[in-house]
Amino acid sequence: MITGRIIRGVGGLYFIDTEEGVFKCKARGIFRKKRIIPTVGDYVEITILDKTQRTGFIEKINERKNFLIRPKVANIDICIITFAAKSPSINFDLLDRFLILSEEKNLDVIICINKYDLIEEDIEQYIKRVYSPVYKVIFTDTINNNGIDKLKILIKDKVSVIAGPSGAGKSSIINRIISSETRKTGEISRKIERGKHTTREVELLSAGEKTFIVDSPGFTSVSVEHLNPVELQFFFREFKDFLKKCKFNDCLHLQEPDCSIRNNIGDKISEERYKRYEFLYNELIQKRK
Ligand SMILES: Nc1nc2c(ncn2[C@@H]2O[C@H](COP(=O)(O)OP(=O)(O)O)[C@@H](O)[C@H]2O)c(=O)[nH]1
Ligand SMILES: [Mg+2]
Ligand SMILES: [Zn+2]
């Protein structure tokens, strides 16, 4: 058996990237019986049926480290949360919801602010003040190629999914990344859909050896409804250092005295992010009533 990774699935046929190249495989019936659906990103063991035709069978699916539903993909390392600096302008509520979900799934995060060519000074300062101390933030522009090399370094040897609203420039960024990589290796570049089309098919796109990137459709909203209000605090990364320092163990950082989170507002915790926490906490409580 050889080990590989599912990079694409079309109508029950899976494309497996292995050290010996790509094989087209079907899954053994046992998976259907057990109701396990092979998913793009899965590490699998395959047996070869025909070496010249490059066909085989998926025999085993290794345990997943995580699993995303939209796009449906497994074993993701990084979420590149992408917003346009302008047109459309940044919805910070949506950005924070993406951050919460990424934390929940234990993904590493890169905040990518694209269309840097259009950015306004106050927006740039705002992002640098509120987000840069907490997350990796990069500014890109796919017209002059600013920041793309930096992004490539950050995603090297990892599998990343690019998420964000429609029109942010996700597909443009991916095309920039994969076209420079394919040029290097002499492969034929596979331009992915862009513009008005939605990005439906889930695929691990090669962005260099051992590096993959997955495009996703534009999200107009992100639901955090499934979260327990009490656990929301754990998904604000900048809270982490202070959570154990509140006077009460079960502090929710709302009105309690001697709250370490509230004591650090304006210092290690920005007012804007704290307000978002408060807002989302109340929203989650309302939903439960
Ligand atoms: N000004 C500017 N426009 C961009 C940039 N990147 C992408 N666009 C444009 O923004 C639009 C949406 O891009 P697309 O990649 O389809 O966004 P997606 O919906 O997030 O995949 C297209 O018209 C792109 O040409 C950029 O860095 N600067
Ligand atoms: Mg797109
Ligand atoms: Zn507290």
- Segment 141-154, tens digit of pLDDT: 999 999 999 999 99
Residue 220 lies in a domain: no
Residue 200's pLDDT is 63
Domains in the chain: how many in total?
3
pTM (2 decimals)? 0.93
Does the pLDDT at position 70 exceed 90?
no
The pLDDT assigned to 199 comes to 46
Residue nearest ligand 1's atom 11 by CA: 167
258-273 average pLDDT score:
98
* Closest to 225 measured CA to CA, from 285, 284, 278: 284
Nearest atom in ligand 1 to 142's CA: 27
Q: What is the pLDDT of residues 212-223, one digit of tens each?
A: 999 998 888 889
Chain mean pLDDT for the chain: 92
Please check whether residues 165 and 249 belong to one and the same domain. Answer: no
Is residue 23 located within the same domain as residue 90?
Answer: no
What percent of the chain lies above the pLDDT cut of 70?
93
Per-residue pLDDT for 202 more than 70? yes
In short, whether 167's Cβ falls inside 6 Å of ligand 1 is: yes
Residues 88, 200: one domain? yes
CATH, residue 45: 2.40.50.140
Same domain membership, residue 259 and residue 149? no
- The pair of structure tokens assigned to 105 is 């799934």
Which structural domain range is residue 31 located in? 2-63
148: Cβ below 6 Å to ligand 1? no
183 and 72 within one domain: yes
Task: Say yes or no: 142 and 168 in one domain.
Answer: yes
What does the alpha-carbon distance between residue 23 and residue 3 come to, in Å, rounded to a whole number? 11
What CATH number has the domain bearing residue 279? 1.10.40.50
Q: Per DSSP, what are the bridge partners of residue 113? A: 83, 139
**Test site for ligand 1: of 142, 148, 174, 205, most ligand atoms within 8 A of the Cβ:** 142
